[in-house]
Structure 1
Amino acid sequence: MGTMSSYEHGQFSWVDLTAHDIADARTFYESLFGWSAVDSDTQGGPPYVIFELEGHKLAGLAQMPEEMKAQGIPPTWNNYINVDDINATTEKAVALGGTNTMPVMKVLDAGSLAFIQDPSGAHVGLWQKDKFHGADRVNDPGYFGWNELHTRDVDKAKTFFSELFGWEFELSPDSPHPYHVIMNKGRMNGGILEMNEEWDGFPPHWTAYFTVTDADAIAGKAKELGGKMCVEPFDLSFGRMAVISDPQGGTFCVIAMNDLSDLD
């Protein structure tokens, strides 16, 4: 945990929300987590907000284009994986059976991004830094600390990502359902959860976790601010978590760890 100045190839480095209404989303998350929202200079491009806490950049916020809203696409928390060579990585993803759903795009002098869809159906972002490496701080309360894939075909996803990034996987002994911890160069880097019949109607997707000191307090505050509980706070062997939907439908998880060193 703590401050970050660089990320390994294959390591999650950033999360951002694509919202239907950027102003309302800004107010909700500032009020919920105590974040400060700073407008980015996009030099005439679409508006983009950087959330900060204690002066550390931790997540982003973007306005969803009207054409996407018209298609019924819900607000989405996007997860980004740091890569050394984004063009080579997207080409490799396609060769392995994935899909390049958003071609590589340079973001001013910050870096380059792209989106891919793995063969099991979930979309994830790729980021190659230039002047912007990603989150300045992770895992500590108020910051993102985990990235999780929900998929109906765990084996297909594991094969794809192991070949793309060299990820390895460890079966968690503490989860009530089969849970595969992602390891990137020996460091925990997220997890994979198999979607069962309870997920009927939901597409495969990645979700972001934010570390908090009190999951119940955050859940209660989210309700007061107009959010909804997808899953009320519940206990796990390593902490207490909840799944929350913001007032526009953007879904994320919060977790209060028993021991924050578990996220190192």
Structure 2
Amino acid sequence: MPEVTAPYAPGTPCWVDLMAKDQQAALDFYRDLFGWQGEKGPEEFGGYAICTLNGKPVAGIGPAMAPEGMPEPPTVWTTYLSTDDADAALQAVTKAGGTVMFPVMDVGTTGRMLVAADPTGAVFGIWQPVDFFGAQIVNEPGAVTWNELHTGDMKAAAAFYQAVLGIVSEPMEGVENYSSINVGGRAVGGLTSVAAPGTPPHWLTYFAVDDTDSVVDALVKKGGNVLMPPFDMVAGRMAVVQDPQGAVFAVIKPVPM
């Protein structure tokens, strides 16, 4: 089991979470789909639930809450990138042309976070760990295995994330219009162009599964939608899907390394 036991290097995707209109329905859906365990958390943290797989944290699910006078936020998965200084990251986001959506806040003693949009419009989070560094299981069925930025301007996006978090983008050999995003010389995610016209820039979360087709079938039976049916590609057999509340994510059975 690929367990993570130490904080992620700055710039590395370290956590994903979902803000859902019906939190309990989301908890039930992902429990049945991926085998997660999770329940509504303490009120002082807005009921935010830490979902676990085999007893280890893999993702968060919280209730969608709109600030007073603001529209209800969309139901989406958010990718968080690790940092060792959230305040410096916020300043770097602004300087590099990004937009701060939620400024730095303390989350109890677990860490400090902010949410921002890059200059192309993709929303992401930044996490500075204190007592909690993020996902403790990855690259395992039911856990996150890849994070991918879809953008209308790959060059601008690459420059932004390098300026803010030191992430280096490099074209991926043999794959058209695709770059890896690297931290410390290691690929930690992907960067590509938005495929469908009208699709807004976004970060896409990939969850590993042991059988893509059967997971997609189960998702449909539980009220989810299929946006891209299962297909084979260089990294494995994948599909892009939508949960019953509209959150988009990918599932993939990775090619054995």
TM-score, with structure 2 as normaliser? 0.94
2:113 equivalent to 1:113: yes
Mark the runs of 5 or more structure 2 residues left unpaired by the alignment.
none
CA RMSD of aligned residues (A): 1.8
The structure 1 residue matched to 2:197, chosen from 179, 196, 199, is: 199
CA contact (8 A) 1:36 1:51 kept: yes
Q: Deviations over 1:191-250 (max 9, x none)?
A: 111014x232x2211111101111111100000111010110011022100011000101
3-state SS, counterpart of residue 2 of structure 1: coil
TM-aligned CA distance change 1:58 to 1:108, over 3 Å: same
Residue type at the aligned position of 1:65: M
3-state SS, counterpart of residue 38 of structure 2: strand
3-state SS, counterpart of residue 36 of structure 1: coil
3-state SS, counterpart of residue 9 of structure 2: coil
Could you tell me which residue of structure 2 aligns to residue 18 of structure 1?
A: 19
| Partner Cα separation in structure 1 for residue 233 and residue 82 of structure 2 | 29
| Partner Cα separation in structure 2 for residue 19 and residue 100 of structure 1 | 21
CA contact (8 A) 1:20 1:69 kept: no
TM-aligned CA distance change 1:249 to 1:68, over 3 Å: farther
TM-aligned CA distance change 1:165 to 1:67, over 3 Å: closer
* Identical amino acids, percent of aligned pairs: 36
Deviates more, 1:227-236 or 1:61-70: 61-70
Q: 1:20 deviation in Å?
A: 1.1
Q: Deviations over 1:109-139 (max 9, x none)?
A: 1111101211111111000011111011111
Q: 1:189 deviation in Å?
A: 1.1
Could you tell me which residue of structure 2 aligns to residue 136 of structure 1?
A: 136
| Partner Cα separation in structure 2 for residue 116 and residue 65 of structure 1 | 17
Could you tell me which residue of structure 2 aligns to residue 251 of structure 1?
A: 248
| Partner Cα separation in structure 1 for residue 28 and residue 96 of structure 2 | 41
Residue type at the aligned position of 1:105: M
Deviates more, 1:161-170 or 1:238-247: 161-170
Could you tell me which residue of structure 2 aligns to residue 61 of structure 1?
A: 61
Could you tell me which residue of structure 1 aligns to residue 100 of structure 2?
A: 100
| Partner Cα separation in structure 2 for residue 51 and residue 210 of structure 1 | 14
Mark the runs of 5 or more structure 1 residues left unpaired by the alignment.
none
CA contact (8 A) 1:38 1:52 kept: no
| Partner Cα separation in structure 2 for residue 146 and residue 258 of structure 1 | 13
The structure 2 residue matched to 1:227, chosen from 214, 219, 224, is: 224
Q: 1:186 deviation in Å?
A: 1.1
3-state SS, counterpart of residue 3 of structure 1: coil
| Partner Cα separation in structure 1 for residue 50 and residue 219 of structure 2 | 20
| Partner Cα separation in structure 1 for residue 24 and residue 161 of structure 2 | 35
3-state SS, counterpart of residue 226 of structure 2: strand
How many correspondences in the alignment? 256
2:205 equivalent to 1:216: no
CA contact (8 A) 2:65 2:72 kept: no
Could you tell me which residue of structure 2 aligns to residue 154 of structure 1?
A: 154
Q: Deviations over 1:75-101 (max 9, x none)?
A: 010110110000011101111111211
CA contact (8 A) 2:194 2:200 kept: no
Could you tell me which residue of structure 2 aligns to residue 178 of structure 1?
A: 177
| Partner Cα separation in structure 1 for residue 128 and residue 68 of structure 2 | 25
Q: 1:162 deviation in Å?
A: 1.5
List, as ranges, runs of 4+ consecutive aligned residues in structure 1 with deviation greater than 6 Å: none
Could you tell me which residue of structure 1 aligns to residue 163 of structure 2?
A: 163
TM-score, with structure 1 as normaliser? 0.92
| Partner Cα separation in structure 2 for residue 70 and residue 225 of structure 1 | 31
| Partner Cα separation in structure 2 for residue 246 and residue 70 of structure 1 | 24
